[in-house]
């Protein structure tokens, strides 16, 4: 499981940074991926990252500002040309359906796959995915903006191969049943309980990806104990008043949210064009005493989330 940042600029693209889009990739599931926001030019970024739209299964839009949304219609249209592109689920705030229906109607776009649009509210999102649960909560911004919490479901523990060998049980179908937590009856009539030969279950990974937001309780709730928090940091430390005026956060406020949530790792994004890389690095170093495991995202940065 890994994240790729496809755009990390705030408001408008720069030479070095495109506007917001993040891909969450599942290599263990044929490299299928989910997309969080789709600013203008996102499909170009996907091409550069060598990612195919027929592997895209779900899109989550945080809010309807253009730097998070204007790349979506073109991306949906281009997906038509990818062989094997199945049903696509798109989630986002109220108003998303009207926006997409208007663009598609007025442009005469035709999709050769099923598109399902779900307008969300705060709370669990019924994605139907067996491996991950998704929850949304409303943040504080100039328009309605949401954050998403993605929780991998608990995975079964490892088989204790040495114990199975001692019992004379060779690799085969019984291994799979035991791994799934099923008790099995052996050839001698003895019942072997899965709990005897399977280790404790492993907790799933947690990722929190937030839309534009001022500091708020919802951001901390979504990021609670997260393996990775992705938080906007449009402004540098010391510009908290201006950040509040525009419904954004500073790098310091993002670090404080990660600390309050007891997140393990923080990546800040949505960086204002006023900061060059040297200034950004300085800002990051100044907040490490608040949250040490922080880094500034840049376009095409890949963050690996190993299993627990």
Helix/strand/coil percent split, the chain, to 5: 30, 25, 45
Answer yes or no: 67 catalytic. yes
Nearest CA-CA partner of 54 in 25, 83, 18: 83
Is 276 annotated among the ligand-binding residues?
A: no
Helix (H) or strand (E) holding 304: strand 302-304
Q: No. of H helices and E strands in the chain?
A: 10, 16
Is 141 annotated among the ligand-binding residues?
A: yes
Is 270 annotated among the ligand-binding residues?
A: yes
CA distance 290 to 143: 29
- 3-class DSSP state of 95: coil
Is 248 annotated among the ligand-binding residues?
A: no
Is 65 annotated among the ligand-binding residues?
A: yes
Of the candidates 67, 137, 227, 299, the residue annotated as catalytic is: 67
* Contact indicator for 266, 58 with CB cutoff of 8 Å: no
Helix (H) or strand (E) holding 243: helix 240-246
Is 289 annotated among the ligand-binding residues?
A: no
* Contact indicator for 125, 135 with CB cutoff of 8 Å: yes
Return phi, psi of residue 146, to 5°: -120, 155
Residue 169, token pair as written in the block: 């049980």
Is 308 annotated among the ligand-binding residues?
A: no
Binding residues, by number, are 63, 65, 67-68, 141, 212, 270
Query: Looking at the annotation, which residues are catalytic?
Result: 67
Binding-site annotation: residue ranges for Zn(2+):
63, 65, 67-68, 141, 212, 270
């Amino acid at each position: 499981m890994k994240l790729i940042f496809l755009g990390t600029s705030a408001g408008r693209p720069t030479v070095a940074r495109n506007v917001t889009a993040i891909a969450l990739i599942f290599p263990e599931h044929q490299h299928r991926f989910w997309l969080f926001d789709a600013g203008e030019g996102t499909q170009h970024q996907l091409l550069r990252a060598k990612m195919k739209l027929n592997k895209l299964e779900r899109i989550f839009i945080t809010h309807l500002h253009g730097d998070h949304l204007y790349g979506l219609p073109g991306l949906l249209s281009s997906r038509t040309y990818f062989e094997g592109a199945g049903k696509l689920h798109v989630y986002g705030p109220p108003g998303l359906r009207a926006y997409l229906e208007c663009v598609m109607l007025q442009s005469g776009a035709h999709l050769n796959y099923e598109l399902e649009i779900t307008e969300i509210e705060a709370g669990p999102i019924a994605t139907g995915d067996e491996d991950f649960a998704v929850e949304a909560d409303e943040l504080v911004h100039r328009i309605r903006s949401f954050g998403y919490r993605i929780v991998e479901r608990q995975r079964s523990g490892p088989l204790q191969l040495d114990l199975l060998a001692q019992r004379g049980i060779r690799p085969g179908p019984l291994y799979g049943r035991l791994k799934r937590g099923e008790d099995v009856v052996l050839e001698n009539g003895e019942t072997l309980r899965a709990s005897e030969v399977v280790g404790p279950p492993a907790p799933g990974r947690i990722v929190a990806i937030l839309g534009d937001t001022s500091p708020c309780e919802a951001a901390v709730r979504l990021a609670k104990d997260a393996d990775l928090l992705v938080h906007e940091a449009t402004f540098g430390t010391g510009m908290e008043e201006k950040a509040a005026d525009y419904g954004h956060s500073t790098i310091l406020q993002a670090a404080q949210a990660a600390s309050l949530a007891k997140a393990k790792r923080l990546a800040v994004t949505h960086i204002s064009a006023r900061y060059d890389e040297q200034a950004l690095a300085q800002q990051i170093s100044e907040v490490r005493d608040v949250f040490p495991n922080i880094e500034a995202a840049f376009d095409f940065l890949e963050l690996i989330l190993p299993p627990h």
